[in-house]
Amino acid sequence: MHHGYTNVVGLGDSSTWKLPCLNRYVYMFLAPFLVPIMTPLVAVERLRKADLGAALRTLALISLGLYSHYWLLRHVSGFRSRGSALLCMLLTRSLLAHPYLHVNIFQHIGLPMFSLDKKPRRIHMMSLGVLNLPRQPVLDWAFGHSLISCHVEHHLFPRLSDHMCLKVKPVVSQFLRDKQLPYNEDSYLSRFRLFLSRYEEFMVHAPPITELVGLQ
């Protein structure tokens, strides 16, 4: 849905990342600490629409993963109390929560948005509605090229591996520029400042629909 309807309002518009009840500083600095808690809860909520067998397998794997982490901390790492083990689980799972949350909103929100009945051709939709961040060793290692520096390529070719996204990046960027289409790139710090200054516009209010005269 997200790849097929990138930045189409109500379908692939990244609205699941919006929490209008939070102010900019709470959202950008404090809310990421809740990501490790919210992720399994959201997964369980999504399982309501899944096949029963797949839902049960997923629940079993989620439970096994969380319990295994907890068991290793108690019996291998030597944590004496349940509270300290759970706190360590939260802290270690929160290490990259801030860039994880930030990257997911930086890549799409704030870029042109489309309505389903007036969305442009796919090449235009991906070119206009997706953004690449520059390569950064820690983020590349943690999240992969397709989420960081090759996100445009990932949306054009969702089945390509991280390695292949990196390989086709020069071809894609040259093709879009030859066709006079945007190839959106910006730094992490620049997007961070932009979201802090325009948080209400991007994350609270409904996004304006982009009218693409001449591109249809």
Of 130, 190, 136, the closest CA to residue 157 belongs to 130
Confidence of residue 44 (pLDDT cuts 50, 70, 90): confident
Task: Answer yes or no: is pLDDT of 46 > 90.
Answer: no
The predicted structure's pLDDT at residue 165: 96
Please tell me the distance from the alpha carbon of residue 48 to that of residue 29, in angstroms, as a whole number.
Answer: 31
Which tens digit of pLDDT belongs to each residue from 108-142?
999 999 988 888 888 999 999 999 999 999 999 99
Of 138, 156, 173, the closest CA to residue 6 belongs to 156
Query: Phi, psi (5° rounding) for residue 17?
Result: -90, -5
Which tens digit of pLDDT belongs to each residue from 72-109?
999 999 999 999 999 999 999 899 999 999 999 999 99
Confidence of residue 1 (pLDDT cuts 50, 70, 90): confident
Which tens digit of pLDDT belongs to each residue from 187-212?
999 999 999 999 999 999 988 888 76
Terminus-to-terminus CA distance in the chain, angstroms? 21
